[in-house]
Each structure stands twice: as C-alpha cells, then as structure tokens.
Amino acid sequence: MQKKVNDTVNKEIMEESSQKTKLHNISRANAELKNYLKDLTWENSRTVFEVRTHILKLNSNYGQKDEQCYICGKQETTRHIFECEGSTVKGLTIERYKQMIGKEGPQTDDMNSVSQSAEIVRKKMEERSKIKMMVIKYG
Ligand SMILES: [Zn+2]
C-alpha cells in the first residue's frame, strides 16, 4: 500500500516537473522569438523559430520518425533540409544550420546570413511540398 502511494506521489511530481519544463521551454522560446524580431523580419523570425524548435512542417517533426525525404530518399529531419542534395534550391549548409540552432540563439553579427538561410529554408519547404503533392498525385 505504502509503495503504491509513493508511486502515485512520484508520478505526480514527475508530471508536474515535466509540465514546468514545458512551460519553461515555451516562455524561453517566446523570449527568443521577441529577440529575433529586433533583427529579422517577422517571416524570417518565424522560420528561425520553426527550425530551432523542430516544428517545421515535416512529417518527421510530427510523429513519423522514419519518414524518408521525398527528393533523395534519405531520412527526413530538420537538419536534412539543410543538407539534402536532391533539392534544386541551393545555398544551405550544415554550418548554416548550426548557426541557426546555436544554443545562445543566432548571433546578431550573423543576422544577414541567418536571414538569408531563413529565406532559403522557406524556398526549400515550398519545393518539397510541391514534390510531395506530385508524389501523392502520380505516385
Ligand atoms: Zn533529401
């Protein structure tokens, strides 16, 4: 009986702390987003935010961990968007990915480069959704 109570208490503590971590992450992410807005356009801020928090519209970011890239067949991840060799949209590199996801947030000195990367990410995402639609339509 005592063990059961302990388990329940532990579970509650765990749930509460994971809840807190989530809230903390969200408020930190919000603060970050506001910070970018000083140096980036709204659209680019949003793209940077989506890359950093892994919420770009990729199936692999929404539960389908084994999703393959529609263009080259490799595993699809946020990082893969920067290194997919099958894409006709050029200009993204792993260095640019690292610059964008840096722990302290993108550095102000590099904001031109970050803006450029964000724009290319959106072009790539557009290209991908077109290819994806074609694959779904024609197989
Ligand atoms: Zn690819």
Q: Is 6 helix (H, G, I), strand (E, B) or coil?
A: helix
Ligand 1 center from residue 53 Cα (angstroms): 20
Q: Which of 87, 20, 80, 21 is nearest to 51 (CA)?
A: 80
Ligand 1 center from residue 128 Cα (angstroms): 9
Paired strand residues for 17: none
Q: pLDDT tens, 97-122?
A: 998 888 767 665 678 889 999 999 99
Ligand 1 center from residue 83 Cα (angstroms): 7
Angstrom distance (rounded) from CA 107 to CA 67 = 32
The answer to the question of residue 50 being in a domain is: yes
Number of domains forming the structure of the chain: 1
Paired strand residues for 68: 75
Ligand 1 center from residue 68 Cα (angstroms): 8
Q: What is the DSSP string of 50-80?
A: HHHTT-SS-GGGGT-TTPBPTTT-SBP-HHH
Output DSSP code: residue 40. S
Ligand 1 center from residue 107 Cα (angstroms): 28
> Of how many residues is the chain composed?
139
- Structural domain containing residue 121: 39-138
132-136 contacts, C-beta under 8 A, 24 or more apart: 132/70, 135/70
pLDDT at 122 (0 to 100):
97
**Does the model's pTM come out above 0.85?**
no
Ligand 1 center from residue 77 Cα (angstroms): 9
The answer to the question of residue 74 being in a domain is: yes
At residue 73, does pLDDT exceed 60?
yes
The answer to the question of residue 14 being in a domain is: no
The answer to the question of residue 9 being in a domain is: no
